């Protein structure tokens, strides 16, 4: 792992040590303040180069996903008229590789490395985190080509774990508004204002390649702006759960990946 992660800067391999506790404390403080933490340069340049060399030849097999959706990924929302601006449709386009298409690859090695899971659980203040059993959903690599983007959405999962593998020349920025809604207050008008591009509290994050980014996206709407230039934005997305053995249903796999297995 020492060749893949910068363990001198981020001592994930020394759980329980003072340096490890200090890092976990830093991440928890960031999460509490901003709903997010980032570890720039966690993945080494050599490992990023290797990851791209593994992934690039697989790209023709990726599932091209173009879709029109609203921020909720739901056709209707109770209590909201169908013509409410919070329900306005936005466009997303990307290309997804699944874990079963890259069983031996840098992203899957990091995903399965137990000290990474132990560190993430501690940062999230959870007793434990487990990798999914789902052969497709556990690790995804999403590629965005010029003009493509991930549009505004709320995540269904409590938190999302990403590592940027390749940064685009321009665009591809991560926009978010921390806790725009809460479990008690859906803040539909705030959502509508965000979608109109008039939210003064929206923040922008420009990730560099090799950065781990962990965020709580259930009540924090976020999106990725259109990629500019000829270098694709390539990001790996990891799914962990507080209980072991989680899998998607065949219908979910069909919806996300265009195949059931």
Ligand X SMILES: O=C(O)CCC(=O)C(=O)O
**Which residues here bind ligand X, judged by CB under 6 A?**
150, 155, 160, 162, 174, 217, 222, 224, 235, 237
Q: Which stretch binds Fe ion (CB under 5 A): 76-84, 153-161, 188-196, 248-256?
A: 153-161
Site for Fe ion, residues 40 to 59, rule: CB under 5 A: none
By a kind-dependent CB cut-off of 5 to 8 A, residue 174 interacts, out of ligand X, Fe ion, none, with ligand X
Site for Fe ion, residues 210 to 239, rule: CB under 5 A: 217
For ligand X, which is the closer residue by CB, 13 or 173?
173
**Residue with the shortest CB distance to Fe ion:** 155
What minimum distance in Å lies between the beta carbon of 13 and Fe ion? 29
By a kind-dependent CB cut-off of 5 to 8 A, residue 227 interacts, out of ligand X, Fe ion, none, with none
What minimum distance in Å lies between the beta carbon of 19 and ligand X? 28
What minimum distance in Å lies between the beta carbon of 155 and Fe ion? 4
What minimum distance in Å lies between the beta carbon of 162 and ligand X? 5
How many residues belong to the site for Fe ion (CB under 5 A)?
A: 2
Helix axes 18-34, 114-123, angle to 10 degrees: 50
By a kind-dependent CB cut-off of 5 to 8 A, residue 237 interacts, out of ligand X, Fe ion, none, with ligand X
For Fe ion, which is the closer residue by CB, 4 or 132?
132
For Fe ion, which is the closer residue by CB, 105 or 160?
160
By a kind-dependent CB cut-off of 5 to 8 A, residue 145 interacts, out of Fe ion, ligand X, none, with none
Residue 155 near Fe ion by CB under 5 A = yes
Burial class (CB in 10 A: 0-12, 13-18, 19+), 174: buried
What minimum distance in Å lies between the beta carbon of 172 and Fe ion? 14
Residue 168 near Fe ion by CB under 5 A = no
- Chain centroid to CA 71: how far? 16
- Interatomic CA distance for residues 245 and 152, integer angstroms: 29
For Fe ion, which is the closer residue by CB, 13 or 155?
155
For ligand X, which is the closer residue by CB, 119 or 238?
238
Write the secondary structure of the chain as one string of H (helix), E (strand) and C (coil): CCCCECCCCCCCCCCCCHHHHHHHHHHHHHHHHHCEEEECCCECHHHHHHHHHHHHHHHHHCEEEEEEECCCCCCCCCCCCCCCHHHCCEEEEEEEEEHHHCCCCHHHHHHHCHHHHHHHHHHCCCCCCEECCCCCCCEEEEEECECCCEEEECCCCCCEEEEEEECCCEECCEEECCCCCCCCCCCHHHHHHHHCCCCCCCEEECCCCCCEEEECCCCCCEEECCEECCCCEEEEEECEECCCCCCCCHHHHHHHHCCCC
Which residues are near Fe ion by CB under 5 A?
A: 155, 217
């Amino acid at each position: 792992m020492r060749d893949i992660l910068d363990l001198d800067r981020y001592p994930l391999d020394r759980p329980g040590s003072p340096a490890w506790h200090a890092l976990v404390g830093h991440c928890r403080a960031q999460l509490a303040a901003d709903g997010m933490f980032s570890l720039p340069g966690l993945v080494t340049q050599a490992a990023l180069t290797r990851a791209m060399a593994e992934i690039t030849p697989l790209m023709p097999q990726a599932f091209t996903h173009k879709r029109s959706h609203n921020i909720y990924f739901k056709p209707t929302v109770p209590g909201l008229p169908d013509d409410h601006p919070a329900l306005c449709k936005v466009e997303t386009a990307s290309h997804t590789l699944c874990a079963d298409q890259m069983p031996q690859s840098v992203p899957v090695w990091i995903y399965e490395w137990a000290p990474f899971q132990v560190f993430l659980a501690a940062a999230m203040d959870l007793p434990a985190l487990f990798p999914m059993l789902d052969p497709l959903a556990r690790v995804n690599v999403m590629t965005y080509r010029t003009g493509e983007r991930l549009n505004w959405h709320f995540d269904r999962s409590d938190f999302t774990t990403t590592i940027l593998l390749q940064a685009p020349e321009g665009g591809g920025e991560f926009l978010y508004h921390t806790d725009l809604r809460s479990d008690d207050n859906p803040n539909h008008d705030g959502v509508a204002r965000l979608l109109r591009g008039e939210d003064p509290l929206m923040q922008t994050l420009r990730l560099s390649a090799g950065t781990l980014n962990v965020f709580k996206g259930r009540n924090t709407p976020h999106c990725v702006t259109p990629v500019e230039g000829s270098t694709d934005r390539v990001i790996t997305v990891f799914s962990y759960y507080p209980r072991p053995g989680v899998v998607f249903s065949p219908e979910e796999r069909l919806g996300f990946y265009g195949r059931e297995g």
